[in-house]
Structure 1
């Protein structure tokens, strides 16, 4: 069961790497505009903020990967729990302040990973 939990944690990490790339490098490109439903003008005006947000998503991914590769299983578990909770809190806040979609795209996968991790 732990391999399923780790697979879900890895999926959340990959999602956050994807979010990082979207926000840091593709924000003003066609894929970024379509994904976030922004006009080119709005994207241009908010590009620096998006890049900052993308950097934080990269940190979340790095933390989850750190938890996955840590050689001490108990400490790796704690790292994964901490970063999954950070993702969930960020997803709930984003859903409350920006778009409900964030709840399903960010918080739900992290919640599922956390539940399976606790059960493993």
Structure 2
């Protein structure tokens, strides 16, 4: 079950790296604006906020990857560290997805995309 948790946490990390790219590097691109349902004018005004928010997603992905690496390549005594890092990263991802879903019902699809893999990773860790 730990391997399943690592795979799911890795998928969650990849999703959050992709979100980082959208928010921090391509916020004003028409395809990104279509994903987030924003206009060119709004995207330009909110670009600094999106840039900052994108980095939060990147940092969560990095924490998850470090947790996976510690668990995969560390000793048995590092299992607690790995579990704590993955719980912290994936728990924050799930919490952010819940905030997104409850703040704007039109963003439910994005919240599901953002939150399912980390939620399943946490569940797999709890069952392992």
TM-score w.r.t. length of structure 1 = 0.93
Deviation at 1:116, TM superposition (A): 1.1
List 4+ stretches of structure 1 deviating above 3 A.
Answer: none
How far off is 1:40 after superposition? 0.8
Matching of residue 57 in structure 1 with residue 45 in structure 2: no
Partners of 2:37 and 2:110 lie apart in 1 by 13
1:118 aligns with 2:126: yes
* Equivalence map 1:1-120=2 (5 Å): 1-70=1-70, 71=74, 72-98=78-104, 99-120=107-128
Q: Secondary structure of 1:24's partner?
A: helix
Aligned pair count?
A: 120
TM-aligned CA deviation for residue 21 of structure 1:
0.5
Contact kept, 8 Å, 1:92 with 1:102, in 2: the verdict is no
Q: Once structures 1 and 2 are overlaid, which stretch shifts more, 42-51 or 71-80?
A: 71-80
Larger displacement relative to structure 2 (29-38 or 10-19)? 29-38
Give TM-score scaled by structure 2 length: 0.88
Taking only aligned residues, the RMSD between alpha carbons, in angstroms, comes to: 1.1
Listed one character per residue, the Cα deviations across residues 9-32 of structure 1 (whole Å, up to 9, x for unaligned) are 000000000000000011101221
